[in-house]
Structure 1
């Protein structure tokens, strides 16, 4: 990468010398920022993280088995012959080598993690590259750099950052692949006619509208909860009065029956 930076600096110097009659137009992107804001990448990254967690759990499980084998061997060493001790030690070393091979297979320089991460990032990188080509030609940039790479950028004016334009281009490309009707196509054409500032302004309005809608829904839910609480309290009060009346009626009935029984007993 260092050689790449040196080569790029030399190229910039030579290009600047040959283009002394006009200023060099530079733009830059932040690849990390772009990846973090591409839904497909985030979903794929979550799946990869889940696989990595599974691999780590498998390694931890095998290490615990080896630790248990070592502990058992230490406890039983005095009871075993040298031949059995060597046999168990060989088995432990064999399992340790298996774990090292498994770790290398999953997490090594050419392991599954690096391969799948490359597969994960490559399609997004291709989209970014195509979008950079398109925007660089439209804006007549001489160079477009990646701020998240090893290339040291001591200063970068925000106005030269085209990361948001790249994201917008990727989103529009994704929507083109999802068109199912003439209405969708018309909506996409209207959206693509908007500039980045117009898109950001519309998204800001939509965010404000969503926030207001959320607040309205919260107030409605609070009013409903209050209303339900009042109705529940009234219902509980009504049931309490009703039960009190029923209890009182039952006491009077029992009292009458008891009096009748006393009269009947006295006559007899």
Structure 2
């Protein structure tokens, strides 16, 4: 659906602007982020928070399991009232764990908020570099080769602006071993003009 909408939008833009040619380019944000220390630091922070919160949930679940084993071991000795009370306490604990899990890992949860917070700086660096490269190279569009929404089965290396964006960000674009996929033509490695 997204690709169809993108295609229709591009057709409309092309049809309404016949007087001037539009320039397209693409970058590989996965590759850029793999070289960007700010992104790696942010990702490490996100992983640290996720691990800590996961451990909290596992600890709470282990406590519930312990309570259930104790209840099963003592069930025969308990009155009906005591059984109901123990079951209620266990149910309350299970509900608390589910709520905590949703609070942390759910939609708009703590992890997503922390990710937005930590990724703000690397994303701003990338955006500034993209805007500068687009202005310098007079590009109308820059696509993300790494994006799920824009699938590229074939890419002409002449239109790859990843190196320019990396240079703008102060990163070393020469460590690209293994970057080219089977869909690119390895014989033409010149940068776009």
TM-score by length of 2: 0.81
String of CA shifts for 1:81-107, please: whole Å, max 9, x gaps.
010111010000111011011111111
State the match for 2:114 in structure 1: 116
- Partner SS, residue 27 of structure 1: strand
Work out the CA distance in 1 between the residues paired with 2:97 and 2:83: 21
Work out the CA distance in 2 between the residues paired with 1:115 and 1:164: 31
Higher RCO by CA contacts (8 Å cutoff, separation 6 or greater): 2
- Partner SS, residue 152 of structure 1: coil
RMSD in angstroms over aligned alpha carbons? 2.2
Work out the CA distance in 2 between the residues paired with 1:15 and 1:60: 52
Work out the CA distance in 1 between the residues paired with 2:118 and 2:18: 42
- 1:144, distance to aligned residue in structure 2 (A): 0.8
State the match for 2:165 in structure 1: 166
State the match for 2:130 in structure 1: 132
Work out the CA distance in 1 between the residues paired with 2:32 and 2:112: 20
Work out the CA distance in 2 between the residues paired with 1:164 and 1:92: 57
String of CA shifts for 1:22-45, please: whole Å, max 9, x gaps.
543210122222222110111121
Q: Greater CA radius of gyration, 1 or 2?
A: 1
Matched length: 175
Work out the CA distance in 1 between the residues paired with 2:19 and 2:167: 34
Work out the CA distance in 1 between the residues paired with 2:53 and 2:63: 16
Contact 2:134/2:142 (<8 A) preserved: yes
Runs (5+) with no aligned partner, structure 1: 173-195, 205-268
TM-score by length of 1: 0.60
Larger fraction in helix: 1
- 1:60, distance to aligned residue in structure 2 (A): 0.9
